[in-house]
Amino acid sequence: MADGKHNSALGAAYAAKRPEEVAAIYDRWSETYDADMSIAGYRHPTICLALLTRHLPRGAEPLLDAGAGTGLIGEWLAITGYPKVEALDISQGMLDKAAAKGVYTAMHRLAMGDTLPFADGAYAGIISAGVFTSGHVGVEGLDELIRICRPGGIIVLTVKNTLWDAGFAERIAGLEARGAISRLEETRPYASMPGETDTVPSRGLVLRVT
């Protein structure tokens, strides 16, 4: 991303049709991802971290960073007092960068949207920043996160308005109505990358699994 106004890697990821395409795009982007997102003023990790720390006590474990990317969130979770955090991502290139930061206790190369190889209630908390967005993971990825989060546990995620308006909002309302989750917080829509032009807003959500 040369000028901070148009991120071509992210544009390609938004337009991806298959998980393998997304993985390949992020594999190639992994070298410059952190620097590019810093220039773009990328906000999702900070907002998700703020929401998580409001609802999950220091030391809660284990946590899962779902769509961890290069591990921006893992670094800050370690500093703020969550010692056992696992990373999951579809891109080996991104996971390699995350592993190099030395803050995750396990690395999982897996695709959200598929069945995940974790026990019911395995995690005390799950954080997923910038993943429920165009071309990445749709509402079909949510049920597995709920299954692997323990009752009373917290799921913090961001959802781009494009998905929100295309069935995500209804799905959340349906899960609430049947008592599977409660919605503890929903932020107002915000631009995830103020340094980019033409961004569709996203919102942050905090769900408690019941």
Ligand X SMILES: C[S@@+](CC[C@H](N)C(=O)[O-])C[C@H]1O[C@@H](n2cnc3c(N)ncnc32)[C@H](O)[C@@H]1O
Distance of CA 55 to the CA centre of its chain: 17
CB of 134 to ligand X, least distance (A): 11
Three-class DSSP category at 63: strand
Q: Hey, which bits of 90-210 come out as E strands? A: 106-109, 123-132, 149-160, 181-186, 202-209
Decide whether 100 or 173 has the Cβ nearer to ligand X.
100
* Contact footprint for ligand X (CB under 6 A): 19, 22, 26, 44-45, 67-69, 72-73, 89-91, 94, 111-113, 129-131, 136-137
Decide whether 166 or 173 has the Cβ nearer to ligand X.
166
Cross-strand bridge partners of residue 161: none
CB of 94 to ligand X, least distance (A): 4
Phi then psi for residue 4, to 5 deg, are: 75, 5
Decide whether 17 or 178 has the Cβ nearer to ligand X.
17
Residue identified by tokens 């395409």 is 21
CB of 198 to ligand X, least distance (A): 16
CB of 186 to ligand X, least distance (A): 19
